[in-house]
Amino acid sequence: MNAPDSMIDVTRLEQALAQFARDRDWDQFHSPRNLVMALTGEVGELNELFQWLPEAAAWDVARSPDTAQAVRDELADVLMYLVRLASVLKVDLSQAVTDKLAKNAEKYPADLVRGSSKKQGG
Amino acid sequence: MNAPDSMIDVTRLEQALAQFARDRDWDQFHSPRNLVMALTGEVGELNELFQWLPEAAAWDVARSPDTAQAVRDELADVLMYLVRLASVLKVDLSQAVTDKLAKNAEKYPADLVRGSSKKQGG
Amino acid sequence: MNAPDSMIDVTRLEQALAQFARDRDWDQFHSPRNLVMALTGEVGELNELFQWLPEAAAWDVARSPDTAQAVRDELADVLMYLVRLASVLKVDLSQAVTDKLAKNAEKYPADLVRGSSKKQGG
Amino acid sequence: MNAPDSMIDVTRLEQALAQFARDRDWDQFHSPRNLVMALTGEVGELNELFQWLPEAAAWDVARSPDTAQAVRDELADVLMYLVRLASVLKVDLSQAVTDKLAKNAEKYPADLVRGSSKKQGG
């Protein structure tokens, strides 16, 4: 259950991934840098799903029979390596997100940046 | 609150990000391909934190005063663009992760792949 | 000088980068995995230049005063880390490109794949 | 042929890639943003080759029978999309590299940054 002020709850996924690695003796491969590279590889696969798509078609990628399963799988893969990476680094991802949202709210006041992509992070 | 069989709950973050974009009239920029590129940019920044680190030092990146805040911020940025991307694509990230975990469990039976990185996804 | 059948000549850049690293005692940092991560970081920065741009505006990125220098710098950074990576791996990049072009020509016969992005690599 | 002060010569590759696209009516897909995403996809595949490798084994990746061809192909793919991207953006990659090298030499004076990865770009 989310704590009242918690933005996310990924505890069960974190535990499932730790168990999955332990069962396969894969902890030895899950060093921080290995996981950063694995995360990068999955983000690369996500890019490959979108690279030749017209802007309009990209909105339908999760509904189109050709790509619906692949895009769900790639989004899941990215999330799983991200949660695993935070886990081995002992970063509380929920707290990190809460803090970053507060920082962003201060950095990009709505009335100053409205409608401008230049004011947006990147 | 997580449903009993739900691996993650990112509902509140999803809502907070939608509100954040709405308040700034940024929905116009949050097309799927734009968000894939923004996600990629953040993963690039994560790589930059690790690129010159010896393997051993990488374990301490979230504790070292030089890098602790930066790594938390980058992990949060990656998560936020990922959740926002799933949101505009109308993908249920929790269901996608549950399905992918089941698929991985079938693809990598513990007794067949134990201790082998070659048997691991990528 | 390019050999008659050589697609690229990056010899001078390769030598300049090796000298640059040697002069700064940076060879110790230029391991293959470090260079892959550094290359990834630069590709991330390239993505950041394009992430909020409409398709039409992206064609002008190297002419627009706001972005012209940045895009040239990022393309150069990507190329430099790529050449450096090939160099430490002792891969002849020119031969690798020639071979890959031949493989692609065989894999994608012009009369079978004309006008179809699905037939394209990725 | 390289001009006397030119760091690279990729003219023939640039022409070969333009011809390859023209023969397949693929120019329509080679927009700047599409090519950035395709480049990112290939860098993702490069990461996948290295993600589970111990640092020491990574030096042998281009000699090991399991990976030699794949790493050559991925390096070539990254280079080809990079050259194609520079081409459609009308960026002179050789000049961009020469300028960036000069900028780096000024930014990282050898006697000030020797042996320090913190002084290195990223």
How many CA atoms are closer than 13 Å to the CA of A93, on its beta-carbon side? 29
Q: Which of D54, D50, D107 is nearest to D74 (CA)?
A: D50
Q: Which residues make beta-bridge pairs with B9?
A: A9
Chain C residues near residue D29 by CB distance under 8 angstroms: 117, 120
In angstroms, what separates the C-alpha of C120 from chain A's closest C-alpha? 9
Residue type, D98: T
Average model confidence (pLDDT) across chain C: 94
Helices (H), chain D: 11-23, 32-50, 55-58, 68-88, 93-107, 110-113
* pLDDT score of A51 more than 60: yes
- Chain B residues in contact with chain D using a Cβ-Cβ cutoff of 8 Å: 33, 36-37, 40, 48, 51-52, 55, 117-118, 120, 122
CB contact under 8 A, D48 and B120: no
- Chain D residues in contact with chain B using a Cβ-Cβ cutoff of 8 Å: 33, 36-37, 40, 48, 51-52, 55, 117-118, 120, 122
Report the residue of chain B nearest D52, measured CA to CA.
Answer: B117
- Name the residue with tokens 């991985």: B104
What is the DSSP code (8-state) at residue B4?
T
Per-residue model confidence (pLDDT) at position D4: 60
* Domains assigned to chain A: 11-102 (1.10.287.1080)
Do C7 and C98 meet the contact criterion of CB atoms below 8 Å apart? yes
Cα-based distances in Å from C87 to A37, C17, D50, D97: 21, 9, 16, 17
- Name the residue with tokens 């230029």: C30
Tokens of C108: 């994608």
Cα-based distances in Å from C112 to B9, C118, D15, D28: 46, 11, 22, 17
Establish whether this prediction's ipTM goes over 0.85: yes
Q: Which residues make beta-bridge pairs with A9?
A: B9
pLDDT grade, residue D105 (50/70/90)?
A: very high
Q: What CA–CA distance (Å, rounded) separates B116 from D3?
A: 50
In angstroms, what separates the C-alpha of C42 from chain D's closest C-alpha? 7
* pLDDT score of A37 more than 80: yes
Q: Which of D91, D88, D93, D74 is nearest to D29 (CA)?
A: D88
> Chains with 3 or more CB pairs closer than 8 angstroms to C?
A, B, D
C111-114, long-range: CB < 8 A, 24+ apart? C113/D24, C114/D24, C114/D25
Cα-based distances in Å from A75 to A13, A40, B86, D14: 14, 12, 7, 34
Q: What CA–CA distance (Å, rounded) separates D96 from D61?
A: 30
Residue type, D17: L
- Name the residue with tokens 């920029």: B29
Per-residue model confidence (pLDDT) at position D121: 55
pLDDT grade, residue B5 (50/70/90)?
A: confident
Average model confidence (pLDDT) across chain D: 94
* pLDDT score of B2 more than 70: no
pLDDT grade, residue D117 (50/70/90)?
A: confident
Tokens of A34: 């290995």
Per-residue model confidence (pLDDT) at position A122: 46
In angstroms, what separates the C-alpha of B81 from chain A's closest C-alpha? 11
Q: Which of C40, C52, C122 sits opposite A48 (nearest CB)?
A: C122
CB contact under 8 A, A93 and B101: no
Chain C residues near residue B48 by CB distance under 8 angstroms: 37-38, 41, 44
Per residue in C67-93, pLDDT (tens digit) is: 999 999 999 999 999 999 999 999 999
CB contact under 8 A, D24 and C82: no
Chain C residues near residue A55 by CB distance under 8 angstroms: 55
Do A45 and D51 meet the contact criterion of CB atoms below 8 Å apart? no
| A16-47 residues labelled b (16+ CB within 10 A) or e (exposed) | bbbebbeebebeebbbbbbbbbbbbbbbbbbb
Q: What CA–CA distance (Å, rounded) separates C89 from B53?
A: 19
Q: Which of A32, D39, C86, A122 is nearest to B55 (CA)?
A: A32
Q: Which of D12, B27, A15 is nearest to C98 (CA)?
A: D12
Tokens of D28: 């329509």
Do B46 and B10 meet the contact criterion of CB atoms below 8 Å apart? no
Q: How far is CA D51 from the centre of its chain?
A: 19
Mutation pick from D1, D14, D15, D26 vs chain C, by most beta carbons of C within 10 Å, is D26
In angstroms, what separates the C-alpha of B29 from chain D's closest C-alpha? 15
Please report, in angstroms and rounded to a whole number, the separation of the first and last CA atoms in chain D.
Answer: 32
Q: Which residues make beta-bridge pairs with D9?
A: C9
Chain C residues near residue D58 by CB distance under 8 angstroms: 31-33
* pLDDT score of D118 more than 90: no
Based on the number of CB atoms within 10 Å of its own CB, is C101 exposed (0-12), middle (13-18) or buried (19 or more)?
Answer: middle
pLDDT grade, residue C4 (50/70/90)?
A: low
Per-residue model confidence (pLDDT) at position B117: 78
pTM score: 0.96
Do B9 and B98 meet the contact criterion of CB atoms below 8 Å apart? no
Tokens of A46: 């996500």
Average pLDDT over residues A54-83: 97
What is the DSSP code (8-state) at residue B59?
T
Q: What torsion do the CA atoms of C84, C88, C90, C91 make, to the nearest 10 degrees?
A: -40
**How would you classify residue A16: left for phi > 0, otherwise alpha for psi between -120 and 50, otherwise beta?**
alpha
DSSP string, A4-40: TT-S-B-HHHHHHHHHHHHHTT-GGG--HHHHHHHHH
Average pLDDT over residues B43-51: 98
Per-residue model confidence (pLDDT) at position B49: 98
